[in-house]
Chains A and B, each alone.
Chain A
Amino acid sequence: MLLLILAWRNLFRNKRRTFIAGAAIGLGLASLIFTDGLILGMEQTMVRNLTASFLGQGQIHAAGFRQTTAVEKTIHGLKEVVGRLERDPRVSHFAVRALSQGMLSSAADYRPVEVIGVEPDRERLVSQLDDMIVKGRFFTDRNPRDVVVGADLAKDLAVSIGDRVVLTVAQSQTGTLAQDLFFVSGVYRFNSRDLDSGMALILLPKAQDLLALGQNAHEIVLDFRNPDLAGDSKNAFWREYSQGGDEALGWPELMPQVELAFRYSELSLYVLGFILFGVVAFGIINTLFMSIYERIFEFGVLRAIGTRALRVAGMIVLEAAALAVVSIAIGMVFGFLATALFSRVGIDYRGIEMMGVTIRNLIYPVFRVRQFWFYPAWVIVFTVVTSVYPAAYAARIRPAEAMRKTL
């Protein structure tokens, strides 16, 4: 206990030096806390943008459809699945889609597109297609010849509202080519090249007719009352709906590259922290050595009156730990304040596309408990490990040499 008191009081013998060293370490910690909150906030915003725009929080397909996109691979027992979803309290909204590759031609040009048959009333609840309309309307007239396209596609085809386009698809089972005439009724813009240039939306019954699907469809898009369910691949929901030849998947499985990118972000944060504390480590070593040199005679006295070398080393390590405690206090306060401030005002990355997802909202850093134990634990470990070198030096001080000037 006395050694602990000694370490703590020694730390404050030179208050200015302790404060500067503590502030350096503390600001490193604060930046880690803030960056962690920022990355988490960015992830949450991106997931919201990703799932709310078009993907949904989860999807149901026939097994194998995602790999082949074969038109004949439709959801098994669609009517029964839809009935179950309507009664399922975990599901807030869902929409049925028909999907196929096709060709959209205008008088000026043609482009390969993904043809998507949608139910406008349900679609507006699970995606933001209707919110992103910049010209025309989102199937308000229920005209079977309406087609809604992305802004980039409209530009590529040189079409606008009311212009005629021809859609060509291959039909289910036979592969027979089918064509039909449509009129552009709406243009949307997500500011995402993939979404804005590659999709043509038509009404679901029209798509089923054109693709010769009967009453079948390829995809059900889901939103949950508790969005966390989508990220929980072990939840029973996914097993319950992955039966009879269908597969139900949450967004992390549907977009594994995004999930992977999030893991890389986390790894990058650890690398950043390692570099940051690596630099700070030299500051800690310098501070401890200055403190040792100032007290070299005192260490000589301590050794002379019977303090073992290991205990002297322990004293330095304890001083480093005490410095870590001071630094953590500083870092947690600054980290909390910075995160709290920006979690209110937000950070504007709107319009920037990252990992294939366009940020459309302000990013708000998010608190989590881990920020206030995991990174402070890093500080303790880093500081204590760093102190081993000065501690070893102090332990090797020979009392006779240290006190040569008097005794």
Chain B
Amino acid sequence: MMSPESEPLIRTEQLVKTYEDNGVAVHALRGIDTEIRRGEFTAIVGPSGSGKTTFLNLISGLDKPTSGRVWLGGRELSEMSGGELSDFRRDHVGFIFQSYNLIPVLSVAENVEYVLLLQGVPGVERRRRVEEMLAEVGLAGMAERLPSKLSGGQQQRVAIARAMVSRPDMILADEPTANLDSEMGGELLDMMRELNLRTGMTFLFSTHDLLIMDRAGRVLTLQDGRVVTDVRR
């Protein structure tokens, strides 16, 4: 299923973020106006310190802007309380991290199940969806293993399953291939692209990886807290 790419999922308006670092003001974002449409497979690129991380933090509700506004699915994030933002992330945002960041004491299935548990999905339904999701990412039969018993590629597959199992509106991925070899990275990106095309889920990558840039439908380049290029293919 492919969802229409015309509808904006994320919209930012004059997004500014300034940090205090030892009394010195650090201007991480200097006014970003952009839109991310539903179903897009977008790479945000730029040198270190360009504001990629800050941008992802702000559009996912992990951090609050100094000024400006963010709308996600028609809701303005700055109007939400801490609890509402937690629920919002739980229901609408999936995260994939560079270092996988699975919960080491939970099995593969339990890691994937965790978000569904937060959502209050009934047990039978939870187990069914976890089983389906693990099959989807090629981890059927590994449900009971602990993350420490998996390779890096397998752990990142679990992270992808965890991010997608709750059927969020978008997946935010921070350098998801940085710790993988190019073959494994390519495989995972192909898998995510296939899921993107099939489910219409929006993917947003923060990356330096050419493999991602090659596969991205849009590349947004940041420099010194500003968007310098925005290329759609």
Contact = CB atoms under 8 A, between A and B. Distances in A.
Interface of A: 2, 5-6, 9-10, 13, 297-298, 301-311, 398-400, 403-404, 406-407
B164 to A, nearest CB: 12
Central interface residue in B60, B86, B103, by most chain A CB within 10 Å:
B86
Contact of A407 (B95, B104, B110): B95
Interface of B: 53, 56-57, 60, 62-63, 82-83, 86-87, 89-91, 93-95, 97-99, 101, 103-106, 110, 113-115, 117-119, 162, 172, 174-175, 206
Contacts, number: 80
A225 B199 CA distance: 84
Contacts of A9: 105-106
A2 B114 contact: yes
Contacts of B87: 306, 308
B104 A305 contact: no
B87 to A, nearest CB: 7
A261 B99 CA distance: 64
22 contacts: A2-B117, A9-B105, A301-B103, A303-B86, A304-B89, A304-B95, A305-B94, A305-B95, A305-B162, A306-B87, A306-B118, A306-B119, A307-B86, A307-B118, A308-B83, A308-B87, A400-B57, A406-B53, A406-B98, A407-B62, A407-B97, A407-B172
Contacts of B63: 398, 400
A53 B217 CA distance: 99
A306 B110 CA distance: 16
Given A2-B113, A307-B90, 6 more contacts: A6-B103, A9-B106, A306-B119, A311-B118, A400-B57, A407-B174
A306 B99 contact: no
A46 to B, nearest CB: 52
A6 B105 contact: yes
Given A407-B56, A407-B62, A13 B86 contact: no
A407 B118 contact: no
A298 B103 contact: yes
B94 to A, nearest CB: 8
A5 B105 CA distance: 9
Contacts of A311: 118
A8 B57 CA distance: 31
B91 A13 contact: no
B119 to A, nearest CB: 8
Contacts of B105: 6, 9-10, 13
Contacts of A5: 106, 110
Contacts of B172: 407
Contacts of A407: 53, 56-57, 62, 95, 97, 172, 174, 206
A260 B69 CA distance: 71
Contacts of A301: 95, 97, 101, 103
Contact of B106 (A6, A310, A399, A406): A6
Nearest to B100: A301
Contacts of B117: 2
B147 to A, nearest CB: 12
Given A2-B114, A308-B87, A407-B174, A298 B101 contact: yes
B97 A306 contact: no
A305 B97 contact: no
B91 to A, nearest CB: 7
B88 to A, nearest CB: 8
A14 to B, nearest CB: 11
Nearest to A11: B105
A308 B98 CA distance: 23
Given A9-B105, A309-B86, A399 B162 contact: no
A268 B101 CA distance: 50
Contacts of A306: 86-87, 89-91, 93, 115, 118-119
B62 A304 contact: yes
A103 B201 CA distance: 107
3 closest A-B pairs by beta carbon, nearest first, are: A306-B90, A9-B105, A400-B63
Central interface residue in B63, B87, B105, by most chain A CB within 10 Å:
B105
A304 B103 CA distance: 13
Contacts of A10: 105
Nearest to B146: A9
A306 B99 CA distance: 19
B118 to A, nearest CB: 5
B99 A305 contact: no
Contact of A406 (B89, B94, B97): B97
A274 to B, nearest CB: 34
A404 B114 CA distance: 23
A309 B82 contact: yes
B128 to A, nearest CB: 16
Contacts of B57: 400, 407
Contacts of B82: 309
Contacts of B60: 304
A304 to B, nearest CB: 5
B103 A297 contact: no
Contact of B174 (A308, A309, A398, A406): A406
A307 B162 CA distance: 14
Contacts of A309: 82-83, 86
A307 B118 CA distance: 7
Contacts of A308: 83, 86-87
Contacts of B89: 304-306
A301 to B, nearest CB: 5
